[in-house]
Amino acid sequence: MKKGVKKVALATLETKDLLCAAMIDAGVDPKQALLASTVATKAHVDVIIDRVFGNQSAADITRGLSEVGRGTRPLN
């Protein structure tokens, strides 16, 4: 499960970095791009977590995170 949590955290940071870089490339002020990418990333992560884990129980989520860590359950 620990690997799954790490993968989720790293995927979140990667998403934020990509969004922020794209906004800066489009001419958005870097500080504003950083703040906006945080808001957008939070919404994106909520969608992913709902799609991957839905209304599962805590035990099922724990099992699912273990699967993510093993690479047998994708985040996207």
21-63 confidence digits (pLDDT tens): 999 999 999 999 999 999 999 988 888 888 888 888 989 888 8
Evaluate whether residue 75 is within a structural domain.
no
Position 53 in a domain: yes
Q: For residue 69, is pLDDT > 90?
A: no
Model confidence at 2, pLDDT cuts 50, 70, 90, reads confident
The whole domain housing 57 covers: 2-70
**37 neighbors 19 (Cβ within 8 angstroms):** yes
Q: How many CB atoms lie within 10 A of CB 60?
A: 12
Asked if the structure places residue 76 within a domain, the reply is no
Within-domain flag for 56: yes
User: 55 and 29 in contact (C-beta within 8 Å)?
Assistant: no
Say how many domains are in the chain: 1
Residue 45's closest CA among 10, 20, 71, 70? 10
